[in-house]
């Protein structure tokens, strides 16, 4: 089911998204997902979908789509992940130069008073869980290539994010914090937003697992990532739906009117659980829990229709604050009402890309003999 859906998606749906809108971080998820499938299955044909669509990211003149000179936007640092994959697949010097430029962005990137990369020019002094995934796996992989010893910077940013965003009462991470306490949605004492958005939780958990893969052999502080991941998944699992094994859009309020079992964040959590177990960050039982979450996504939302497979239950987008002009949205206030009001979009890249990554981990488990279920 999954692999048939992914092949159909990468052949038809993904190129249409790229045709309609400029490259963005959610497209990186699909590139990473396809590369993960190639590695997990041993079938290099998955990489064809990456190279076939590369012109939407890397232009003939070597410029990168949707990169704007002087713009500070942590989401766009994530493009470096796709560019690195293209570099390694093609050997193209333009991609090599673009990867280096993505790293140059981080060298001069603005920081909050806590030392964290802030989210964007339009969200200054703000730390969002999303941003840890956008920057840190790319940053960590770059350090393994350059040999630079900047691991303390990465680990400090994770620890700062934990201090800023961990809610002891809920045992979950809040979506964002304005260190300057100026945003309309920010608590005047803590700077935190109000609610727990599932996909934000998922971004953070994936970042922990991905960075640990690079950090475990090179810094004695890598164990801190293990502790953060165990803490994070233990908190989230308390809110797991008993029937589907999935998680809710507003993770800690399943009974909130309009709340729903959400695909992308559940798939991200499944990925982190299975990868964390594979890397030895978590006990093996957590890997089985992650596989169950992914199976729940499949059984709940992956359906064959007359025109092929489709994946539902995906939050199209969510954030904090008015957003870029001309949108000026007044509703992005971090309340549960806001998160459940955001549109759902079938086959959205956030959900499909995260499922590709999670299925890749499930296939690795199958290949290692951890389970007998087929993708």
Other beta carbons within 10 Å of 347: 19
**DSSP letter for each residue of 272-331:** HHHHHHHTTSS-HHHHHHHHHHHHHHHHHHEEEETTEEEE---B----SSS-STTT--S-
Q: Could you give the CA distance from residue 288 to residue 223 in angstroms, rounded to a whole number?
A: 22
Count of residues making up the chain: 375
First-to-final CA distance of the chain: 7
Report how far apart, in Å, the C-alpha atoms of 42 and of each of 34, 91, 296 are. Answer: 12, 20, 25
Q: Could you give the CA distance from residue 22 to residue 357 in angstroms, rounded to a whole number?
A: 22
> Which residues sit opposite 87 in a β-bridge?
none
Domain 2-367 class in CATH: mainly alpha
Tell me, what's the pLDDT at 323? Answer: 75
Judge if pTM exceeds 0.85: yes
Residue 10: both structure tokens together: 């990468």
Q: Compute the Cα dihedral for 75, 81, 83, 84 and give only its sign.
A: positive
Tell me, what's the pLDDT at 371? Answer: 53
Tell me, what's the pLDDT at 372? Answer: 45
Q: pLDDT for 261-306, tens place per residue?
A: 999 999 999 999 999 999 999 999 999 999 999 999 999 999 999 9
Tell me, what's the pLDDT at 374? Answer: 44
Q: pLDDT for 306-355, tens place per residue?
A: 999 999 999 999 999 987 666 778 899 999 999 999 999 999 999 999 99
Positions of the chain with pLDDT under 70: 324-326, 370-375
**Residue 237 three-state SS:** helix
The burial class, CB within 10 Å (0-12 / 13-18 / 19+), for 51 is middle
């Amino acid at each position: 089911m999954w692999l048939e859906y992914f092949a159909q998606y990468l052949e038809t749906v993904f190129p249409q998204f790229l045709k309609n809108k400029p490259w963005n971080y959610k497209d990186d998820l699909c590139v990473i997902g396809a590369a993960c499938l190639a590695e997990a299955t041993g079938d290099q044909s998955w990489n064809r979908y990456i190279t076939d669509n590369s012109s939407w990211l890397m232009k003939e003149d070597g410029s990168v789509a949707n990169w704007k000179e002087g713009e500070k936007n942590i989401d766009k640092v994530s493009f470096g992940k796709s560019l690195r994959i293209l570099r390694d697949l093609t050997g193209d010097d333009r991609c090599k130069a673009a990867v280096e430029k993505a790293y140059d962005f981080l060298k001069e990137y603005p920081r909050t008073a806590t030392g964290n990369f802030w989210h964007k020019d339009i969200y200054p002094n703000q730390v969002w869980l999303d941003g840890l995934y956008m920057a840190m796996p790319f940053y960590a992989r770059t350090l393994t290539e350059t040999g630079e010893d900047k691991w303390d910077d990465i680990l400090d940013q994770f620890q700062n994010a934990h201090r800023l965003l961990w809610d002891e009462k809920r045992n979950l991470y809040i979506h964002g914090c304005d260190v300057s306490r100026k945003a309309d949605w920010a608590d005047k004492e803590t700077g935190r937003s109000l609610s727990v958005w599932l996909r934000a939780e998922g971004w953070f958990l994936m970042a922990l697992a991905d960075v640990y893969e690079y950090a475990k052999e090179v810094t004695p502080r890598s164990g801190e990532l293990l502790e953060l991941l165990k803490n994070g998944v233990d908190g989230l699992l308390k809110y797991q739906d008993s029937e589907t094994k999935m998680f809710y859009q507003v993770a800690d309020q399943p009974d909130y009117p309009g709340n729903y079992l959400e695909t992308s964040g559940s798939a991200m959590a499944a990925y982190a659980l299975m990868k964390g177990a594979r890397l030895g960050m978590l006990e093996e039982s957590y890997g089985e829990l992650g596989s169950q979450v992914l199976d729940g996504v499949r059984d709940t939302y992956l359906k064959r229709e007359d025109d092929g497979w489709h994946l539902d239950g995906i939050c199209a987008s969510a954030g904090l604050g008015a957003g870029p002009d001309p949108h000026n949205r007044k509703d992005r206030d971090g309340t549960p009402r806001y998160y459940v009001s955001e549109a759902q979009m079938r086959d959205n890249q956030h959900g499909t890309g995260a499922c590709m990554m999670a299925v890749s981990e499930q296939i690795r488990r199958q290949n290692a003999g951890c389970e007998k279920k087929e993708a």
